[in-house]
Structure 1
Amino acid sequence: MQRELSQRFVDVAPDVRLWVESRGPADAPPLLLVMGAQASGLGWPEELVELLAAHHRVIRYDHRDTGRSTWSFDRKPYALPELAEDAVAVLDALGVERAHVVGMSLGGMLAQLLLADHPDRLLSATLIGAGALSTRPYAGPDGELTPVGELPGVDPRLVALWSEPAEERDLEAELDRRVEHWRLLSGGLIPFDAEAARELERRIVRHTGHHATSTAHARASTAGMERTGELAVNRVPTLVVAAPAEPVYPPPHAAHLAQVIGAARLVTIPGMGHALPREVHGPLAAAILEHTTAAVR
């Protein structure tokens, strides 16, 4: 199969363009990577993308207000569900009828919107580090029901970091902040590689062309994202990744997510938090590829 590596811009709304990259065999099954809030598509590590691209045409892109895509929120606010429609627009622009979708964090929530609203466009879904778009309570191993609002919350250290007022910083100070963010997101079970995190962020800054940080996704409306009924009857093969060190959606959020989505199963990646360090690339890629292969049999 012939390999490709291409970049382009896709118009998804009036005056809104998204940067899109496609790599891997041109005739392989497409796999769309959807990153989290405030995160460029380059947040998907190169090693992980390459592992997936050995078997798929891997597509990743910058959300609005990240990377090289249009930073539009301040002049024309949007709601978070519109970002799910952007993912559909990316598939349309690349001529992809159906794709495997892998969503991380907010991307995992957008993937749930795709499962609910556009199941005909998905071959499979993989959800990483996401909360459920459902009001259904969590059923514990003993059968006890826990309301969604009573499940464990975000690590207070992250809440404190996110609550700091936005301010202009020089490049090195901004990189310091981002590295500390990754340290907290990593969860602490896998040794944290500060230099690798800093180099990733340097690449993202070079890609973006500046080191400003947008707060658009934190300010965007979350109205209309609940999909309890639609997710319960889902028939798209769905893999939910459980991360023992997850600090944003701590256990048992992943188990809850697998409960509320029909046709879902759970897999645990040892040591993983809310980040993608080198140590999880192999196990995570293997789990995704096993899932995508089984989904099209």
Structure 2
Amino acid sequence: MEHEIDIAPGVRLWAEERGDPDAAALLLVMGANASGLAWPDSLVDALARHHRVVRYDHRDTGRSSWSFDDEPYALTDLAADAVGVLDALGVERAHVVGMSVGGMLTQLLLLDHPDRTATATFIGTTPMSGGPTDPPFDLDPDVLAMWATMNEPRDREAELDWRVEHWRLLNGGRLPFDPGEFRRMEERIMAHAGRHDSPNAHARAGQEGFDRGAELAAVTTPALVIDSPADPLAGTASARHLASLLGNARLVTVPGLGHALPEAVVPQLAEVILGHTAPDTAGTSASA
């Protein structure tokens, strides 16, 4: 079932839910500049066998309003959007799974809306700054070089080529990369959005408000940090540091995982997420 949610004046979000509407809700929060359709359908369907799964397009992605050029905002405002999606769908409390920047937004939800989060799962997530002994995290120079061209105008085919190459770099080099798989995904996202230009507003949005890492020690919500050892942006060091900051977290490694979600990793990802959200484990305490 699809929804259009008026989240703020002039801002409408696209959302979709799958699964039993009476099952425990699970909210998927995608990363920066990425449509909710970047969550593989096979993963959504696997999770929906046990949950009422909600995924959505951030503002300035997919079928949601592209509003940044008229009304600039900070990245932290996207956390309020996630709460607004829950409110609009009548979800009081949800398991939350955040990917990349979506995981940083999930950290904000744990701090500011702990009553709305049953569990939290982090994939490819950099910890917020401000925690004890923050280590340096080096981003892959090839990815940084590609990001420098993100805002350049491209026709549809050139934009598709750019996005597929971007996913190839993010995949990390340990798991096989199928360019056709990611090209099909991006073709679907373009059709869904009705446009092919680069969704880059989040790269231009304000970055303030992510300096609250020291507060994560007080979090009691059960958290699962998935270590993506081949991740060129948020690899093992990031995962271990995030797990150490959270007050109630455990760390699980998915071998070969990078900063992309190829079909090859979906079965194991679904298994570890569902293991975390299961009623007999979601309320238990664990340590990193």
> If the TM-score is normalised by the length of the shorter chain, which range does it land in?
over 0.9
Match of 2:265 in 1: 280
Which of 279, 282, 286 is 1:295 aligned to? Answer: 282
CA distance in 2, matches of 1:119, 1:164: 38
Which of 184, 187, 190 is 2:175 aligned to? Answer: 190
Match of 1:36 in 2: 31
Q: 1:69-93: CA deviations, max 9, x gaps?
A: 0001001000111100000000000
- Is the aligned partner of 1:8 residue 2:3? yes
- Size of the aligned set, in residue pairs, is 282
CA distance in 1, matches of 2:6, 2:161: 34
Q: What TM-score, normalized by structure 1, do the two folds share?
A: 0.93
CA distance in 2, matches of 1:63, 1:76: 15
- Is the aligned partner of 1:90 residue 2:65? no
- Asked whether the equivalents of residues 128 and 210 of structure 2 are also in contact (C-alpha less than 8 Å), the reply is yes
- Seen in structure 2, the aligned counterparts of structure 1 residues 47 and 73 have a Cα distance that, compared at 3 Å, is same
Match of 1:58 in 2: 53
Q: 1:80-124: CA deviations, max 9, x gaps?
A: 111000000000000000000000001000000000110010000
CA distance in 2, matches of 1:286, 1:124: 15
Where do residues 1-297 of structure 1 align in structure 2 (5 Å cutoff)?
Answer: 6-137=1-132, 147-148=134-135, 150-151=136-137, 153-164=138-149, 166-293=151-278, 294-296=281-283
CA distance in 2, matches of 1:227, 1:194: 38
Query: Comparing 187-196 with 223-232, which one deviates more in the overlay?
Result: 223-232
CA distance in 2, matches of 1:268, 1:245: 11
CA distance in 2, matches of 1:28, 1:228: 32
Q: 1:223-259: CA deviations, max 9, x gaps?
A: 1222233211100000000011010113211000000
CA distance in 1, matches of 2:202, 2:166: 17
Unpaired segments of 5 or more residues in structure 1? 1-5, 139-146
Letter in 1 for 2:277: T
CA distance in 1, matches of 2:50, 2:180: 30
Question: Once the 2 structures are TM-superposed, how far is the Cα of residue 216 of structure 1 from its aligned partner?
Answer: 0.9
- Asked whether the equivalents of residues 31 and 99 of structure 1 are also in contact (C-alpha less than 8 Å), the reply is yes
- Seen in structure 2, the aligned counterparts of structure 1 residues 189 and 120 have a Cα distance that, compared at 3 Å, is same
Matched residue SS, 1:25: coil
Aligned-pair identity (%): 58
Q: Which runs of 4+ in 1 moved over 3 A?
A: none
Question: Once the 2 structures are TM-superposed, how far is the Cα of residue 167 of structure 1 from its aligned partner?
Answer: 2.5
Alignment RMSD? 1.1
CA distance in 1, matches of 2:33, 2:213: 26
CA distance in 1, matches of 2:118, 2:158: 42
CA distance in 1, matches of 2:39, 2:253: 19
CA distance in 2, matches of 1:273, 1:214: 21
Question: Once the 2 structures are TM-superposed, how far is the Cα of residue 165 of structure 1 from its aligned partner?
Answer: 5.6
Q: What TM-score, normalized by structure 2, do the two folds share?
A: 0.95
Question: Once the 2 structures are TM-superposed, how far is the Cα of residue 12 of structure 1 from its aligned partner?
Answer: 0.9
CA distance in 2, matches of 1:228, 1:159: 24
